[in-house]
Amino acid sequence: MTGFPCSALVVGASGGIGGAVARRLETAARVTRLSRSADEFDITSERSVAAAAARLQAERFDLIFVATGVLEIGGAGPEKSFAALDPDAMARAYAVNAVGPALIVKHFAPLLPATERSVIAFLSARVGSIGDNRLGGWMSYRASKAALNQIVRCAGVELRRTRPEAVALALHPGTIDTALTRKYAGGRFTATPEECAENLLRLCVHATPEMSGRFFAYDGSEIAW
């Protein structure tokens, strides 16, 4: 990661992937962490997001990495059929997985440099791909991650007008051994959190403005919307 980034913000830094990303970045950059457990930061509350951005308004981040996300709601796992769909749980999934990241764009994109290269990256998931959905199920998680992908697409378009060197990325991390996925992975992990952080940050380091608003897997391959 020589030369990039110099100053990074990790949102969701207390999670498995977010923590690994923050630790890896700290070997080469100045890192600011935000998380619910350490800072009482609530990505679903605009008041909380706006207050955090106001506290950091003097900063300029050349990397903002958003590692928040929720799979289980109220202890209930992802739905296997529409018969199991709970509208309140679905709304909560949207609040965390889609509305929260949109609030990050609204309040933190102004902290990206105006003319220099920067990246704002969001943890998505391959199951959020509409084109790749062959199994159905997991409606709340799938749909909320698909919404996140559209938000990243919109961010890429808008940033191109005001910060032409900025890159907005939706990233699929793979199946990582974290508390979020452990119950559902069946041992089929693609990487440890540390390996995942290395893979995703490698993508961020080499991202170009032409990649902005697009959806990539941890191995660099592009995923269909």
The pTM of this model reads 0.94
- Mean pLDDT (the chain) is 93
The CA-to-CA distance between both ends of the chain, in Å, stands at: 29
Task: Identify the pLDDT of residue 201.
Answer: 97
| pLDDT category of residue 76 using cuts at 50, 70 and 90 | confident
Structural domains for the chain:
7-217 (3.40.50.720)
**Partners of 168 in beta bridges:** 120
* pLDDT tens-digit readout, 9-57: 999 999 999 999 999 999 999 999 999 988 899 999 999 999 999 999 9
**pLDDT at residue 139 in the model:** 97
pLDDT above 90 coverage of the chain, percent = 86
Residue showing tokens 């994109």: 109
Q: In what order do the strands lie in the sheet with 7-11?
A: 30-34, 7-11, 63-66, 118-123, 166-172, 214-217
Q: HEC string of 43-97? A: CCCHHHHHHHHHHCCCCCCCEEEECCCCCCECCECCCCCHHHCCHHHHHHHHHHH
Helix, strand or coil for residue 194? helix
pLDDT at 186: 58
